[in-house]
């Protein structure tokens, strides 16, 4: 959260008697991206699993972008899943089946964020999973679970979804998957099940002749192509304060803090309106032009873009998960657009609030990026994103230091969180990207492009 609203000392959060977690601590746990002390930092040889995988070595100097292991074909890949110890069995999840979707929900609800006594839990919805796990080209066998044989209980999960990546510096387009929702039941941690899940999803993806994967995480593994920092913008400061999250700085009053974070009700940019299916073609072409400024970007087909920007029922235009807006000028041209997705927290054990609304900035573009007005335009655009989010009961608006977010963070009253998110590519070397933060101080590199144009959930 912002410096102002940052809770004091989270150092006690690891003791068993620690009080319930604040949102800040939870976001940190989710990202698990605290900085490591030198003593905590592992060397390549200590990564028993990762040192066997086709990933760049830590501290490797990259002189050329390209695949690491180029020699295999799907025929070289085993047809059968990896063996599991006899108490467990592989299970491909059918998320169109309500019971199985509920099982996935429970596994993630109870285990995706670490602490048992949390005051907040991620409030995943069916609609969220349908959106996140079923983009065009999705495959059921890429929703991989492990169950306890005796009880049928789902205890592990990992998912792959198709994604096409472009590396602008070397002008390469790669058919990839995005790996997400890796989760192991708390009672089965530290038993080397994660490498088994990762190898099995790799096998299933390789069988489709796909050899690269994009993933993010707070965990430091060999080797991030970039690291971004979480940024948080309080929208409803008094509610964040009520649930015990927002700290009142000594030199401020509640009134002054509310006033500082208050946004108008009406958006400011003329021609701003919700995106519809008819906008897909012009907005995608706007995004393509805009994204040339980043080193790594996502390429979308129109069908994919429609899914990611308008959700599962684009014709109804009523997604509760993804919100997209365009700016249309008086000639009927789309000049700008933004999108964000909603993933609220359930608030446990609070007399006044049972939910916290959280928005995550997703893709955006503007036709002004080559003009002197770019920074102002971007600030106006994202300011309107913040304003629109109030209608969806958003209490805090999050983003990373990716894209050109560093151009508006300070002005729009985002504050740096303590969490970091590392971006990884499996089986591919890329030139390093700054991720919007200084390598040593981890401070936001104001007004510098981050290199990262791809946004993962």
- Residues with catalytic annotation? 457
Contact 146, 200 (CB under 8 A): no
Contact flag: residue 155 with ligand MYA (CB under 6 A)? no
Which listed residue (58, 163, 213, 385) binds ligand MYA by CB under 6 A?
213
Residue 73 vs 190, nearer CB to ligand MYA? 190
Q: How many residues bind ligand MYA (CB under 6 A)?
A: 36
Contact 340, 391 (CB under 8 A): no
To the nearest 10°, report the CA torsion of 93, 99, 105, 106. Answer: -110
Q: How far apart are CA 358 and CA 367, in angstroms?
A: 28
Which listed residue (34, 50, 127, 353) binds ligand MYA by CB under 6 A?
50
Report, in Å, the least distance between residue 185 CB and ligand MYA: 8
Closest CA to 232 of 415, 408, 363, 382: 415
Residue 135 vs 314, nearer CB to ligand MYA? 135
Which listed residue (146, 201, 225, 334) binds ligand MYA by CB under 6 A?
201
Contact flag: residue 215 with ligand MYA (CB under 6 A)? yes
Residue list 420-439, contact with ligand MYA (CB under 6 A): 426-427
Residue 163 vs 444, nearer CB to ligand MYA? 163
Residue 161: enclosing H or E segment and its boundaries? strand 154-167
Distant-in-sequence, close-in-space partners of 135: CB < 8 Å, separation ≥ 6: 161, 162, 304, 307, 308
Q: How far apart are CA 367 and CA 423, in angstroms?
A: 27
Which listed residue (95, 167, 174, 198) binds ligand MYA by CB under 6 A?
198
User: Across 263-402, where does the E strand assignment appear?
Assistant: 272-274, 296-299, 322-328, 334-342, 345-347, 355-356, 358-366, 396-400
Contact 228, 400 (CB under 8 A): yes
Report, in Å, the least distance between residue 190 CB and ligand MYA: 5
Question: Mask 156-195, x = binds ligand MYA (CB under 6 A)?
Answer: ---------------------x-xxxxxx----xxxxxxx
Report, in Å, the least distance between residue 157 CB and ligand MYA: 9
Using CB under 6 A, which of the segments 81-89, 200-208, 345-353, 365-373 binds ligand MYA?
200-208
Contact flag: residue 211 with ligand MYA (CB under 6 A)? yes
Using CB under 6 A, which of the segments 198-206, 256-264, 302-310, 405-413 binds ligand MYA?
198-206
DSSP states of 391-455: TTT-SEEEEES-TTGGGTTTTTT-EEEEEEEEEEEETEE-----TTB-TTT--B-TT---SB---
Report the alpha-carbon angle 63-69-74, nearest 5.
150
Which listed residue (112, 138, 288, 374) binds ligand MYA by CB under 6 A?
112
Query: C-alpha 442: how far from its chain's center?
Result: 19
Contact 356, 23 (CB under 8 A): yes
Using CB under 6 A, which of the segments 68-76, 137-145, 199-207, 386-394 binds ligand MYA?
199-207
Contact flag: residue 212 with ligand MYA (CB under 6 A)? yes
Contact flag: residue 36 with ligand MYA (CB under 6 A)? no
Using CB under 6 A, which of the segments 19-27, 66-74, 197-205, 370-378 binds ligand MYA?
197-205
Residue 111 vs 236, nearer CB to ligand MYA? 111
Question: Mask 216-235, x = binds ligand MYA (CB under 6 A)?
Answer: -x-x-x--------------
Contact 28, 10 (CB under 8 A): yes
Contact flag: residue 81 with ligand MYA (CB under 6 A)? no
Q: How far apart are CA 112 and CA 184, in angstroms?
A: 8
Which listed residue (36, 48, 249, 260) binds ligand MYA by CB under 6 A?
48
Q: How far apart are CA 282 and CA 392, in angstroms?
A: 26
Beta-strand relationship, 226-234 and 415-426: antiparallel
The residues of the shown chain that bind ligand MYA, judged by CB under 6 A, are 32, 47-50, 111-112, 177, 179-184, 189-195, 198, 201-202, 205-206, 210-213, 215, 217, 219, 221, 426-427
């Amino acid at each position: 959260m912002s410096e102002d609203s940052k809770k004091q000392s989270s150092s006690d959060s690891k003791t068993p008697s620690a009080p319930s977690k604040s949102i800040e601590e939870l976001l940190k746990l989710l990202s698990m991206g605290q900085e490591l002390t030198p003593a905590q930092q592992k060397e390549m040889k200590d990564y028993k699993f990762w040192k066997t995988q086709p990933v760049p070595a830590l501290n490797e100097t990259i002189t050329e972008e390209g695949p690491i292991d180029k020699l295999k074909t799907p025929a070289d890949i085993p047809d059968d899943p990896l063996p599991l110890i006899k108490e467990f069995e592989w299970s491909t999840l059918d998320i169109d089946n309500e019971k199985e979707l509920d099982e996935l929900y429970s596994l993630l609800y109870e285990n995706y964020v670490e602490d048992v006594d949390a005051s907040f839990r991620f409030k995943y919805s069916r609609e969220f999973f349908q959106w996140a796990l079923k983009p065009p080209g999705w495959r059921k066998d890429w929703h991989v679970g492990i169950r306890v044989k005796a009880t049928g209980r789902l205890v592990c999960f990992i998912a792959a979804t198709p994604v096409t990546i472009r590396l602008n510096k070397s002008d390469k387009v790669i058919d990839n998957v995005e790996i997400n929702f890796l989760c192991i039941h708390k009672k089965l941690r530290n038993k080397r099940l994660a490498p088994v899940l990762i190898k099995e999803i790799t096998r299933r993806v390789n069988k489709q002749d796909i050899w690269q994967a994009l993933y993010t995480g707070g965990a430091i593994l060999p080797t991030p192509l970039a690291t971004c920092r979480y940024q948080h913008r309080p929208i409803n400061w008094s509610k964040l304060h009520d649930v015990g999250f927002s700290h009142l700085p000594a030199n401020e009053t509640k009134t002054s803090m509310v006033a500082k974070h208050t946004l108008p009700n009406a958006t400011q940019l003329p021609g701003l309106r919700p995106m519809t299916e008819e906008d897909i073609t012009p907005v995608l072409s706007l995004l393509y032009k805009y994204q040339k400024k980043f080193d790594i970007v996502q390429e979308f087909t129109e069908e994919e873009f429609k899914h990611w920007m308008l959700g599962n029922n684009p014709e109804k235009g009523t997604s509760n998960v993804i919100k997209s807006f365009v700016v249309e000028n008086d000639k009927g041209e789309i000049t700008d657009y933004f999108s964000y997705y909603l993933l609220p927290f359930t608030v446990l054990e609070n007399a006044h609030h049972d939910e916290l609304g959280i928005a995550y900035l997703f893709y955006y573009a503007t036709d002004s990026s080559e003009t002197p007005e770019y920074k102002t335009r971007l600030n106006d655009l994202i300011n309107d994103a913040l304003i629109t989010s109030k209608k969806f009961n958003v209490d805090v608006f999050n983003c990373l230091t990716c894209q050109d977010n560093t151009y508006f963070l300070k002005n729009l009253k985002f504050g740096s969180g303590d969490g970091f998110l590392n971006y990884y590519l499996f089986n591919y070397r890329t030139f390093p990207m700054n991720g919007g933060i200084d390598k040593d101080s981890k401070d936001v590199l104001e007004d510098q492009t981050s290199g990262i144009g791809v946004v993962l959930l």
